[in-house]
Amino acid sequence: MSLSLLISFLGASIILCIMPGPDNLFVLAQSLTQSWKAGVYTTLGLCTGLLVHISAAVLGISAIIYQSTFIFTIVKFAGAAYLIYLAWQAFHAKEDPFTIHKQNKMAYKDLYKKGILMNILNPKVSLFFLALLPQFINPNAGHVSLQMFTLGFVFLVQAFILFCLFSIFASTLRKWLIGKPAVARRLNKIQGTLFVLIGLKIAFSEN
């Protein structure tokens, strides 16, 4: 696999990660309302979910899911339902999240689990790997599975770095927002609305 091919794939991956989506929005939300550590734990969960998608793409499981309308429908509606549940939590948040200064280990563990669920239940991630990875594979080089896994690992690493940077940025912004409950309530509503819209988009997506 050539260096130019890897750089091209990296560029496409970065563009995808900075586009608004459930993953980066959730990382930003946790970092804003809690701390950069909360964002990093969420990111670790999301990246664990990415490992599942990468493995599924390499093994051909993702292709099987997309060929089965029934399985695809179950996955997409489960993902949409989870996003709408998170939206409900955001809409019904009563306290000012910016007043929370400490986060215990159990809560971090919960964020990690939520990150895994959010990523695994997003069929768009599988679609990305199915659609994009083959475009950067060189069949003449052999070891197609290894090439796919390498590209998937590159995507995972850059996603982890970018999302950690998002966490630090949002946590810095949080310091300015502490003590401003009106802003917090607006952000909760915006976050909830975005999750609903993305959830509906996933629910009405087609394989």
Half-sphere exposure of 151 (CA within 13 A, CB side): 31
Residue 124 pLDDT greater than 60, yes or no: yes
The answer to whether 163 and 26 are in contact (CB under 8 A) is no
pLDDT digits (tens, 9 = 90+) for 169-188: 988 887 776 666 666 667 66
Q: Structural domains in the chain?
A: 22-203 (1.20.1250)
The CA-atom distances, in angstroms, between 149 and each of 66, 125, 179 are: 19, 15, 46
In total, the chain counts a number of residues equal to: 207
- If one compares 19 and 141, the residue with the highest pLDDT of the two is 19
**For the chain, counts of helices (H) and of strands (E):** 9, 0
- What is the predicted pLDDT for the residue at 181? 64
How is the chain split among helix, strand and coil, in percent rounded to 5?
85, 0, 15
Look-up of token digits 């790997």: 129
CA 78 to chain CA centroid, Å, is 15
Buried b (16+ CB within 10 A) or exposed e, 64-94: ebbeeeeebeebbebbbebbbebbeebeebe
Task: Name, of 2-11, 152-161, 196-205, the range with top average pLDDT.
Answer: 152-161
The CA-atom distances, in angstroms, between 203 and each of 30, 71, 80, 130, 189 are: 24, 13, 6, 19, 21
Residue 103 pLDDT greater than 60, yes or no: no
The CA distance from 132 to 152, in Å, is: 10
pLDDT-derived band at 71 (thresholds 50, 70, 90) equals low
- What is the predicted pLDDT for the residue at 160? 97
Closest by CA to 167, choosing from 105, 89, 115, 95, is 115
* Across 46-63, average pLDDT: 83
